[in-house]
Chains A and B, each alone.
Chain A
Amino acid sequence: MDGRAPSMRMALTVNGGPVEAVIEPRELLLDFLRDRLGLTGAKRSCDVQVCGACTVLLDGQAVSACCTLAYEARGREVTTIEGLAADGHLHPLQEAFIEHAAVQCGFCTPGMILTAATLLHDVPAPTAEQAKDYLKGTLCRCTGYWKIIEAVVDAGRRTRETRE
């Protein structure tokens, strides 16, 4: 033994496709996605589950990949920002973030959009107050948030109109 931890095998679904991997028990989901699968959309910033830059969806729920063990994703479905656009169409949130200039440096954007996606899942057409309340666990240092809130509200409105 060279001091390495023993490896473990797991199967999971990532962005709709099956993945099998050999991982270390201590391996974080964020490192697994970024280093093994090359899915670098999820970002590392605070490392303590405060900023939301590493947010991915685990069975549709937003989790901080920096504080989630890769093994916790076994047998489950992971969605990263790379997998949000479906059938070649951007998600309404992605459209709205572009249109409202809710993107600046882009480092928080993947986590912000995925978190907002779970909001739209629960509350299809949120008000600005609901969006503000829901997104308070996801940091952005560039925008001052206002254009993000506008984009989320607009995406919700558009989604509802499409559904109706």
Chain B
Amino acid sequence: MSALRPAGGTAPVRPGVVGTSMRRVDALEKVTGAARFTGDMVVPGMLHGRVLRSPLPHARIARLEVTAAERMPGVRAVLTGADLLGAGFAGTDPYYGHAIKDRPIVAIDRVRFAGEPVAAVAADDPAAADEALLAIRVEYEELPAVTTVQAAMAAGAPPLHEGPLRPGLFHGLGELRREEGNVCYHYRFTRGDLDRVFTEADVVVEGEYTFPAVYQYAMEPHTVIAQWGADGLTVWACCQHPYLVRAELADVFRLPLPAVRIIVPYIGGGFGSKSYTKMEPITAALARKAGRPVLIANRIDEAMVTTRRHNMTATMRTAATRDGRVVARQCRIWLDTGAYADNGPRVAATAGDAAPGPYRWRAVNVDAWAVYTNTPPAGSYRAFGATHMQWIGEAQIDALARKVGLDPLEFRQRNLLRPGEEVRPGGQPLDADLVGDVTKVAAAIGWGGPKPPLVGRGVSVGLLAAGAHPVSTAAIRLQADGTAVLLVGTSELGQGARTVFTQIVAEELALPPDRIRVMGADTQFTPYDRSTGASRSTTLAGGAVQHAAVNLREQLLDIAASVWGLPRASLAVRDGAVWHETERLSYPDLLKRHFGMIGGELIGRGEVRPQHGTGSYAEGPVFWEVCVGGAEVELDPQTGQIRVRRLASVADVGKAINPQLVEAQEEGACLQGLGNALFEEMLFEDGHLINGSLLEYRVPTTADLPDEFRSILVENADGPGPYGAKGVGEGALAAVPAAIVNALADLGIDMRQLPLTPERVWRRARELGLAREVVS
């Protein structure tokens, strides 16, 4: 993917901006309360929308009576499924879904999960809307519900969706087949003669594993404002994928793309929960019915049933030779995708890709199924697929190391793929030094050093297919006063994209950062960026930004060359000017010469697209994101409580354009990993979420900080992005639970279920007959 870098051009004069920890360009707004998020916006005439949600996991809606609610004071509109089929929405497709169009904008005749929108009210204020919800009468005829994968896969299980599945605009996973029963998607790959290699192997480990549903907890819950006008639909939303949301809304409402405008203010965290389309269609439909702008802001309990991480069961077996070579792995994965596909197919494919781990296999076989159940839909959460699989695969690597009598670190050093080796047939070869990475992380947690009693250490290594689709574009407008405005459709959700892009432009145009402004995503004005997620922004959108800046620099050099009548090669940019030896022409001077007046602007444009292959998922990924972590834990044998003494991860970033921001994002991923490992779990009873508030769903606090916490930056300039950069920020979330599981296994306790609650750890220790030994 080296072709992603700009070709040719004069080597930029470096003002020292790339590679330095410049302060965030949005920090001042954010520490003073001036930063505007979607929920801080007020659109004139705006109504407040509230959503009535199903109390049952599966039911037919026998009767839905909204007249009383419609007549209440302050109520302007009530939206139900009947509206979507009526004259007011003629031509509208009432179903959406980027992978599979299986989801009604609001329930039509039937609800498939507890929490599904059944009606929506728009009123003058939130209290009036809430009161109107109470006046809506719904009669449900309860249907048999399948609330676990096991129940959904059982013979004779009631189907959640009948008929053929309709592909969404972005299913991108080859031909969509109708699978058996409640299977939403099946991903499979196989190579080598599995049976023979397993038979010939000396040692085999196997197990069955359980992984919980997890809530992303972006602190800002999903918030959307929709407004219809003569020129179409305008939506302000905290969405990670504004261009995909635009395409889906245009598809649903049968509008041309420019008639749908998505504006993305600052986003209060995403972590995948705001990827693809979420609350935008229902807000837009309600606004259309009300004939007024409408705001819908999810509460936390609503956000939790809007999207979540897939819970999963999996079986895995792995084989090795007695001299310490891994040879074969088989894995079967069942992911609970809930009532609607959301991103389930992609999660299944990514989990399948992550299952083998970065090792050299003679035979490998993976099956991953995403299965519909009557539970809230599951979709993307940071490092999906990899987080699901790494703790399992890496636990088996440790178990094999112990069986053949090798140190787990040395076992990995022998077996890990080397740079340039094939990870997946036909795809991107390994573009990272994993042996170097795991060796660094092991050193950071004191590997091989003396261990106090009840202290265990573990490391883990994995890869995550990153980058999503390599399509991003950007434009830079150089103004008559020499300031630059960067237009790029990336969402700023805390990762620091605007800061990093500023640094790239500053570097390439030799401009001070304070002369560069980065606009937020607005699909009417900012050029297309495929999405903000999959660790892609610096690498891909950043690549487009770099191309645009180089393109603009070339234009400036051309103008200067013609003014001076000199060859372009004899010129260079420095300090906001083009130089020939000691002569200079500032950018404002160049624009004035070019346009013959004070005014006009130069526009640099850049794009990134798949230069080779078909760009299909099968040929990806853009790069392999490294997931390497280490943990040292201490066990309280009386309670099963684990204290993380040391936690370390490697941010194998290629080139850190802003080292402090890389570190910051990596630390955040580590702590989410710690939460996922130790206590985060959405609990369902018969399809009902029973811990749907932050009183009962616990996320990490400062009290959970490890005693020692390190993120190690590795810069081998081996990424496909600007200056050799590649994405980070997800990998540590996959690596940390695996490292903690292995640290516990170092104490003899092999856990097969996450999270590692004290009770589970204590019970497993008892099952293994270790409790007494540990206690003594």
Using a CB–CB cutoff of 8 Å, the interface residues on chain A facing chain B are 2-4, 26, 34, 39-48, 50-51, 53, 80-82, 84-85, 90, 93-94, 97-99, 101, 103-110, 113, 131-133, 135-137, 139-149
Contact check, B672 vs A141: say whether CB atoms are below 8 A apart: yes
- A-B contacts, 18 of them at CB < 8 A, read A3-B73, A40-B37, A43-B268, A44-B297, A81-B33, A94-B31, A101-B23, A103-B30, A104-B494, A104-B668, A106-B268, A107-B220, A140-B219, A142-B269, A144-B705, A147-B663, A148-B702, A149-B705
A48 to B32, CA, bound (A): 24
Decide if B191 is an interface residue (CB 8 Å cutoff): no
A147 to B709, CA, bound (A): 11
A111 to B74, CA, bound (A): 33
What are the interface flags for B703-715 relative to A under an 8 Å C-beta threshold, 1 for contact and 0 otherwise?
1010001000000
Quote the shortest CB–CB distance from A103 to chain B (angstroms).
5
The stretch that binds A, out of B349-357, B460-468, B551-559, B692-700, is B692-700
Closest to B267 in A: A105
A132 to B37, CA, bound (A): 28
Number of A-B contacts (CB under 8 A): 173
Contact residues in A for B33 (Cβ distance below 8 Å):
39-42, 80-82, 110
Closest to A114 in B: B33
Would A106 and B26 be within 8 Å (CB), given that A48-B693, A94-B32 are in contact? yes
Contact check, A141 vs B271: say whether CB atoms are below 8 A apart: yes
Contact check, A45 vs B664: say whether CB atoms are below 8 A apart: no
Contact check, A139 vs B24: say whether CB atoms are below 8 A apart: no
Decide if B479 is an interface residue (CB 8 Å cutoff): no
Closest to A102 in B: B664
A5 to B226, CA, bound (A): 29
Quote the shortest CB–CB distance from A22 to chain B (angstroms).
15
Would A108 and B219 be within 8 Å (CB), given that A81-B33, A97-B31 are in contact? yes
A108 to B671, CA, bound (A): 16
Picked from B269, B660, B695, B701, the residue with its CB within 8 Å of the CB of A101 is: B660
Contact residues in A for B701 (Cβ distance below 8 Å):
135-137, 139, 145
A133 to B705, CA, bound (A): 10
Contact check, A139 vs B699: say whether CB atoms are below 8 A apart: yes
Decide if B185 is an interface residue (CB 8 Å cutoff): no
A106 to B34, CA, bound (A): 10
Contact check, A85 vs B32: say whether CB atoms are below 8 A apart: yes
Quote the shortest CB–CB distance from B48 to chain A (angstroms).
10
Contact residues in A for B663 (Cβ distance below 8 Å):
101, 147
Given contacts A48-B693, A103-B24, A132-B703, 20 further A-B contacts (CB under 8 A): A40-B39, A41-B32, A43-B37, A43-B219, A43-B220, A44-B39, A46-B693, A46-B694, A80-B33, A82-B34, A84-B32, A105-B219, A106-B266, A109-B30, A142-B494, A144-B669, A144-B670, A144-B671, A145-B702, A148-B702
Contact check, A144 vs B709: say whether CB atoms are below 8 A apart: yes
Contact check, B702 vs A51: say whether CB atoms are below 8 A apart: no
Would A98 and B28 be within 8 Å (CB), given that A104-B665, A141-B699 are in contact? yes
Contact check, B705 vs A145: say whether CB atoms are below 8 A apart: yes
Quote the shortest CB–CB distance from A37 to chain B (angstroms).
12
Contact residues in B for A99 (Cβ distance below 8 Å):
23
Chain B: number of interface residues, binned into ranges = 35 or more
Contact residues in A for B127 (Cβ distance below 8 Å):
26
Contact residues in B for A4 (Cβ distance below 8 Å):
73
Quote the shortest CB–CB distance from A25 to chain B (angstroms).
12
Contact residues in B for A133 (Cβ distance below 8 Å):
702-703
Contact check, A105 vs B269: say whether CB atoms are below 8 A apart: yes
A131 to B701, CA, bound (A): 12
Contact check, B664 vs A143: say whether CB atoms are below 8 A apart: yes
What are the interface flags for B679-700 relative to A under an 8 Å C-beta threshold, 1 for contact and 0 otherwise?
0000000000000011100011
Contact check, A45 vs B219: say whether CB atoms are below 8 A apart: yes
Contact check, A97 vs B667: say whether CB atoms are below 8 A apart: no
Contact residues in B for A39 (Cβ distance below 8 Å):
33
A68 to B694, CA, bound (A): 18
A107 to B218, CA, bound (A): 9
What are the interface flags for B495-515 relative to A under an 8 Å C-beta threshold, 1 for contact and 0 otherwise?
110000000000000000000
A90 to B694, CA, bound (A): 32
Contact residues in A for B131 (Cβ distance below 8 Å):
3
A106 to B496, CA, bound (A): 11
Contact check, A103 vs B667: say whether CB atoms are below 8 A apart: no
Contact check, A98 vs B31: say whether CB atoms are below 8 A apart: yes
Decide if B68 is an interface residue (CB 8 Å cutoff): no
A82 to B30, CA, bound (A): 10
Contact residues in B for A137 (Cβ distance below 8 Å):
701
Closest to A137 in B: B701
Quote the shortest CB–CB distance from A154 to chain B (angstroms).
14
A90 to B29, CA, bound (A): 12
A98 to B695, CA, bound (A): 30
Contact check, B667 vs A147: say whether CB atoms are below 8 A apart: yes
Contact residues in A for B268 (Cβ distance below 8 Å):
43, 45, 105-107
Contact residues in A for B73 (Cβ distance below 8 Å):
2-4
A99 to B660, CA, bound (A): 10
Quote the shortest CB–CB distance from A81 to chain B (angstroms).
4
Decide if B221 is an interface residue (CB 8 Å cutoff): yes
Closest to A80 in B: B33
Contact residues in A for B699 (Cβ distance below 8 Å):
139, 141
Contact residues in B for A94 (Cβ distance below 8 Å):
31-32
Contact check, B31 vs A103: say whether CB atoms are below 8 A apart: yes
Closest to A110 in B: B33
Contact check, B219 vs A145: say whether CB atoms are below 8 A apart: no
Contact check, A105 vs B27: say whether CB atoms are below 8 A apart: no
Contact residues in A for B31 (Cβ distance below 8 Å):
81, 90, 93-94, 97-98, 103, 106, 109-110, 113
Contact residues in B for A84 (Cβ distance below 8 Å):
32
Quote the shortest CB–CB distance from A128 to chain B (angstroms).
9
Contact check, B300 vs A46: say whether CB atoms are below 8 A apart: yes
Decide if B217 is an interface residue (CB 8 Å cutoff): yes
Decide if B451 is an interface residue (CB 8 Å cutoff): no
A32 to B184, CA, bound (A): 46
Contact check, A48 vs B705: say whether CB atoms are below 8 A apart: no
Contact check, B671 vs A82: say whether CB atoms are below 8 A apart: no
Quote the shortest CB–CB distance from A147 to chain B (angstroms).
5
A3 to B377, CA, bound (A): 37
Contact check, B27 vs A103: say whether CB atoms are below 8 A apart: yes
Contact residues in A for B693 (Cβ distance below 8 Å):
46-48, 50
Would A106 and B299 be within 8 Å (CB), given that A40-B36, A132-B703 are in contact? no
Q: Which of B745-764 contact A (CB under 8 A)?
A: none
Contact residues in A for B672 (Cβ distance below 8 Å):
141, 144
Would A97 and B27 be within 8 Å (CB), given that A50-B694, A132-B705, A145-B671 are in contact? yes
What are the interface flags for B382-394 relative to A under an 8 Å C-beta threshold, 1 for contact and 0 otherwise?
0000000000000
Closest to A38 in B: B42
Quote the shortest CB–CB distance from B658 to chain A (angstroms).
9
Closest to B667 in A: A144
Most chain A beta-carbon neighbours within 10 Å: one of B267, B663, B694, B695: B694
Contact residues in A for B23 (Cβ distance below 8 Å):
98-99, 101
Would A98 and B24 be within 8 Å (CB), given that A45-B220, A48-B694, A104-B496 are in contact? yes
A140 to B665, CA, bound (A): 12
A105 to B131, CA, bound (A): 33
Quote the shortest CB–CB distance from A132 to chain B (angstroms).
4
A146 to B674, CA, bound (A): 14
